[in-house]
Every structure is written in structure tokens, then in C-alpha cells.
Amino acid sequence: MNGKQVEIEVTDLAFSGKAVGHLDGKVVFLDGGLPGEKVLAQITASRPRFDKASVIKILRESERRVPAVCPHFAYCGGCTWQDLTYQDQLVYKKKQVTDCLERIGGLEDTTVRDVIGSVEVFRYRNKMEFSFNTAPEGGFTLGLHRRGRFDEIFDLERCFLTQDLVSEIVVWVRDYVCREGLSVYDVSNHTGYMRFVMIRQAKRTRDLMVNVVTNYGDFPQRDRFIREITTAFPQITTLVHNQNGQKSNVATGEIETVLFGCGYVEERLFDSSFRIRANSFFQTNTVQTETLYRVGFDLLEPRPNYRVLDLYCGTGSIGILLAPYVENVVGVELVSDAIKVARENAHVNGTKNISFFEGSVKDFLKSKEAQEGQFNIVIVDPPRAGLHPKAMKRLIGFGPEKILYISCNPSTFARDAGELVAAGYKLPVVRPVDMFPHTMHIELASVFSRN
């Protein structure tokens, strides 16, 4: 059936961002199309339970469709819903959270509130990563991944999720590398030098970091590069070089050198300041991060006598913001660099009632420090994979009064929520917050209370 052209009515949007239709009793996942549309599509893969297809032509447009503003939209892997009205994006994101809770978590009594939309629907990102790759026809590209491809990078001219200045820096770096004949990394055979350009621009302070990630080795004509890029862009407050020789396609470094400035940008959340280094995790939508944390704290209702355990604390932002309202906070994080920055951020903000433990969550929960802590509240903000099974088991055995769970993945959250409710916790409400307009991603905050 592969290659066959068919007409399909689009009925829904899937959690992956793909459109959904039906053909001969089977579900069809479409690369393109919006609910309410009739499309001409070509079957690209056939499975026993579903088919995959690409849209060739839209035969009847949906009222939900709007023109995409980005010239890269048709093939960029960043935005998948830029052609869907923003209010409809929020409707489908809420539906995804509800569906996950019901199908995966078995939770039908939990109320999912309407999604809190982003104040900024464009230019909201404070961080973007851009990849180098050699081109099959010769030369190289520097930009973003083509949709669904790890090995195809297109040349970026302008991205509407970040500031124009960021796009201008990317174009300048591409021209510089071409002019100087620098070797570019090949993601297929893992050879070459230039790998990534990561740019952070703080929303509140306007601090600007350019982080160039390369293969192992000193940066060629380093002083010349520093002089030329800082002259071309005087807005740059710090310039960093990270070396990474690992095959994994991530824009982090093993050896870091500060080329210019202090090596970090400073961002503000509420009345607190946070230093963010090149390899630090920090939420990429500054304005909505405040909304997400405010929602979580409102659900949590902290008290002055509460003792708080902040798991997966990263660089400490949640714990530091919560510390003035509770007795004390202990943060736990596996990444050594993140712990160093967390301690630095606590010092910058004068937060005395917070301490940090370097190690895995599952190991800390069975440690003497955890058993003697008598924590009332546990905060979890895990990676997309959710809680490790051992960490979940020990968390349930730990038995805190309340668990504030912040998640970036509704499916793994629903799985974990089902286990917590089965263990005796109640989850009355979930509050989704849209951190990433025009993508299928959604964050949420919830509080589990022990019966």
C-alpha cells in the first residue's frame, strides 16, 4: 500500500503533533493537515494497526488554519502548529493532557483546567541551539533540523521563536566559518570540528551569551574570532567555547573555556536573580516560567513550618524561590555543574535556608539525610522520562504530605500520577501552562496530597 494516494478526512491531532484520520478502519497519522480538513495524502508506511502518510494537497481547508509566518515552517522540526490558531493550540494541548490522564493513568476524576496561554506567542525563547553539518553536495549548513531528521540541517535565515539578533548572529557565524575555511562536523561519520552554536539572551537583563561547541581541540585563531564577533555584535556580554568529542548529538561540552566576559548570563524571576552558565538547565520561556511556578506554589499552599525536599533541582530556581515561605529546603541534583550553579544562585540571592545534595534522586531517598529530614513537601521536576521506578518506589515509601509535580511530558506524568494515586494520594486538579507556542509541547503543575 506504500505510495498509494488517498483522500482522508482529518479528525484530530495526536500527542506527537501529527494529524489523525481513518482509512479502511485503520488510524492514519498524517504529516500535515488540521482537524476538519479533507486532504490528498500519500501512504508512506503501513503497519498492522496504523498507517503513516504525508499530505500532498489540502482539498478543503479548516477554519482553524492560519498562515504560518515563518518561511521555514514547511520543513522545520521546531514548529508543527504554526498554521493552527493559537486558541485552538491550547484546546488540543488540554485534550492531550486529559487523554493521557485517562488512558495511561486511569484517572477520570481529576479536573484538567484550561491551559494558561503564553503572554508571548512569538520570540519567547531565551535559548536556541543551532547545528552544523556537512552537506552531501559539498559545503555545510548551520541552522535547525529538518522535521523528523537528525542528520539533515537546513540553513537558518530567521527564526520567529527568538529575537532577530539571534538569527543575525547565526548567519554571521556561518559566513565566518565559510570565509575562514573551518572544518565542519559531519553527524554521520562523526568527523570535523564545528558542531553547534548555542545562544542565550536573558529576557529581563538582556545579557547575551554565544556558546560555540566544537570537537576536541583549540579554537583556530581564537583571538581573531573573539575580536570580530564582539565587534560585529557589541550586545554580546559573554562568549564561551565548549569542546565535545562524544557522538551524542547534544550541544553540551566536556571542556569549557570562557573566551570573553564572565561566562554566564543573569536572568530574573520575580525578585530573584539567577546565573545561567553554558551547560546549565534553565526554562527557555522566562515569562511563562513565572506563571508555571506561581501556579505550582498556589496549589501547594506553603507554610512557614514546612520542610521541603526539591528533587531534580537543577540550578535551584524552584527551591530558591520557595525558600522565603518555608522553614528550609534541600535540593537534590545528579549533575555536578548544576549543583555548583545552584549554590552560587543561593549565595547571589542571600538564601540561607537552602542546601544542596549532589547525587541521584533514588540514592538520596534511601540515605540517612532523607530519613532524618522529616520533609512535609517533596517537589519533583523530572526530565521527560518521568520518575525512575526506584525513585517512585522510594518516594511513595517516603510518604510526604504533599508532592508538587511539575512535568514537561503528559504521558510520563500520567503514568506516575496513576502510581501515586494507587498508593493513596489524591490529585484533584492539574493545571497546564503553555511554555512553547506553535509546538505540541505542554508543561503542567499539580499537587498530590496524602489521604
Instruction: Summarize pLDDT for 232-259 with one digit per residue, the tens.
Output: 999 999 999 999 988 887 878 889 999 9
CA atoms of 11 and 391, how far apart (whole Å) = 39
Q: How far apart are CA 182 and CA 180, in angstroms?
A: 6
Residue 394 has pLDDT above 80, yes or no: yes
pLDDT digit string, tens, across residues 2-13 = 778 999 999 999
Alpha-carbon span 144 to 380, nearest angstrom: 31
| DSSP of 192-243 | -SEEEEEEEE-TTT--EEEEEEESSSPPTTHHHHHHHHHHH-TT--EEEEEE
Within 122-197, residue ranges assigned H as helices are 164-180
Q: How far apart are the first and last CA of the chain?
A: 53
Mean pLDDT (the chain, rounded) = 94
List where CATH 2.40.50.1070 sits in the chain. Answer: 127-269
| Third-level CATH fold of 1-64 | OB fold (Dihydrolipoamide Acetyltransferase, E2P) (2.40.50)
Q: Note the pTM of the prediction, 2 decimals.
A: 0.92
pLDDT of residue 1 exceeding 70: no
Q: Where in the chain is the domain with CATH 2.40.50.140?
A: 1-64
Domain 91-119+281-450, second-level architecture: 3-Layer(aba) Sandwich (3.40)
* pLDDT band, residue 151 (cuts 50/70/90): confident
- Active-site annotation holds for 159: no
Structural contact between residues 267 and 283, judged by C-beta atoms closer than 8 angstroms: no
| Options 76, 100, 159, 408, the catalytic residue | 408
Confidence band for 148, pLDDT divided at 50, 70 and 90: confident
Residues 34-43: what's their mean pLDDT? 94
Residues of the chain with CATH 3.40.50.150: 91-119+281-450
Residues 119-145, buried b or exposed e (16+ Cβ, 10 A)?
Answer: eeebebbbbbbbbbbbeeeeebbbbbb
What is the residue type of 122?
F
Instruction: Give the per-residue pLDDT at 451.
Output: 79
What's the mean pLDDT in 38-66? 93
Report the CATH number of the 127-269 domain. Answer: 2.40.50.1070
Q: Which of 360, 381, 419, 398 is nearest to 300 (CA)?
A: 381
| Predicted local confidence at residue 106, as pLDDT | 96
Map residue 434 onto helix, strand or coil: coil
